[in-house]
């Protein structure tokens, strides 16, 4: 495998109209989950990717498994947990603002994931383990599982990729900060946003955020700057890379996951730091052009055309 990732995926109900959910009559069903988003985006770009989690032994769980598998991701290590539900969430849309999200995931099957349920060989035989700060927020057992996965990866020379992905609807700042900083210390690649840099480090300048994480031991830091692109650094380079113009954005959820996937794709293709950032900005930008968390992710041909590396023949 090129990349292995794990974490909770849920069934997403997106409203077909804007406004408070009390007035919405119809919803579209899809899936949501930061880690499965990254997996799907990477698979669409042509990489060998595995995702695992625990799902309820119910129709929603089967739907998630089938959908992710249908996008070309290996789901052979997914565990179905009898007696536990698959998590769900609802989006609430308002014009010209990011959607509100309502979770119904407490006590879900994914929150019962335990360290002893990890398949060590599965993690050992990959190039990159991608994790997020959502998983340790789900439960104590999920937190222990995440650190065990990091231990397996680091002891087998597997790169650890980390998106802090702070979710204050799942835990408070006092709980989150020390755990996320500890994960960062064991990460090779990290994808913080400005808000996360401020919350975790008390810093707001991209250069300062990147330097602080490099001092912790991260080898590559890519600071997400939204519409402004990103600031990326490694042991040699320090670069600002502009984003791409997105007219009429539809849904910002999933853009950060697309960014991570694009960057990792560039690394797997052995591209230089600027090219990795261009891939990241491109996938992140394309994600917002389509409603849904993962529906806008491109294949490699579409990405190359979008970022200006090739020309598309339309007729």
Give CA–CA dist 227/249, Å, rounded.
11
Q: What is the pLDDT of residues 7-24, one digit of tens each?
A: 999 999 989 888 999 999
Q: Indicate whether 153 pLDDT > 90.
A: yes
Q: Indicate whether 297 pLDDT > 60.
A: yes
Question: Model confidence at 292, in pLDDT bands (50, 70, 90)?
Answer: low
**96 token code pair:** 């010209």
> What is the average pLDDT across 119-127?
97
Q: Indicate whether 313 pLDDT > 70.
A: no
pTM of the full predicted structure? 0.93
Residues in contact with 303: Cβ distance below 8 Å, sequence separation at least 6, in sequence order: 45, 262, 279, 282, 283, 286
R_g (Cα) of the chain, nearest Å: 18
Q: What is the pLDDT of residues 221-269, one digit of tens each?
A: 999 998 899 999 999 999 999 987 776 766 667 688 999 999 999 999 9
Q: Using DSSP, how many helices (H) and how many strands (E) does the chain show?
A: 11, 14
Closest CA to 285 of 40, 41, 25, 107: 41
Give CA–CA dist 152/92, Å, rounded.
39
**Do 50 and 122 touch, CB atoms closer than 8 A?**
yes
The architecture CATH gives domain 3-306: 3-Layer(aba) Sandwich (3.40)
Crossing angle of helices 59-70/34-44, nearest 10°?
30
Torsion region of 72: left, alpha or beta (phi above 0 gives left; psi -120 to 50 gives alpha):
left
Residue spans of alpha helices (H) in the chain: 34-44, 59-70, 120-124, 135-138, 140-154, 173-185, 194-201, 206-216, 255-268, 273-287, 300-306
Give catalytic residue positions. 257
Cβ burial 136-153 (10 Å sphere, 16+ → b, else e):
bbbbeebbebbbbbbebb
**226 token code pair:** 């939204």
Residues in contact with 140: Cβ distance below 8 Å, sequence separation at least 6, in sequence order: none
């Amino acid at each position: 495998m090129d990349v292995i990732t794990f974490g909770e995926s849920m069934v997403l109900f997106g409203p077909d109209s804007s406004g408070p959910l009390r007035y919405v009559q119809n919803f579209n069903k899809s899936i949501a989950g930061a880690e499965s988003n990254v997996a799907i985006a990477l698979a669409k770009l042509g990489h060998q990717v595995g995702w695992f989690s625990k799902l309820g032994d119910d129709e929603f769980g089967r739907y998630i498994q089938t959908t992710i598998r249908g996008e070309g991701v290996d789901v052979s290590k997914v565990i179905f947990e009898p007696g536990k539900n698959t998590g769900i969430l609802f989006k609430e849309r308002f014009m010209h603002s990011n959607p509100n999200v309502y979770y119904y995931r407490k006590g879900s099957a994914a929150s019962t994931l335990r360290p002893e349920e990890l398949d060590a060989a599965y993690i050992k035989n990959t190039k990159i383990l991608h994790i997020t700060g959502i998983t340790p927020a789900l439960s104590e057992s999920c937190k222990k599982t995440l650190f065990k996965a990091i231990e397996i990866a680091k002891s087998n020379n597997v790169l650890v990729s980390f998106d802090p992905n702070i979710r204050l609807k799942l835990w408070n700042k006092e709980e989150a900060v020390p755990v996320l900083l500890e994960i960062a210390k064991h990460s090779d690649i990290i994808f913080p946003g400005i808000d996360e840099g401020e919350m975790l480090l008390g810093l707001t300048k991209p250069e300062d955020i990147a330097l602080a994480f490099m001092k912790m031991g991260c080898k590559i830091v890519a600071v997400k700057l939204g519409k402004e692109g990103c600031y990326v650094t490694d042991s040699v380079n320090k670069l600002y890379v502009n984003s791409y113009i997105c007219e009429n954005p539809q849904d910002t959820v999933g853009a950060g996951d697309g960014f991570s996937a694009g960057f990792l794709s560039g690394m797997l293709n052995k591209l230089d730091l600027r090219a990795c950032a261009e891939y990241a900005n491109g996938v992140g930008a394309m994600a917002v052009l389509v409603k849904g968390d993962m529906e806008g992710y491109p294949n490699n041909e579409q990405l190359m055309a979008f970022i200006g590396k090739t020309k598309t023949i339309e007729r």
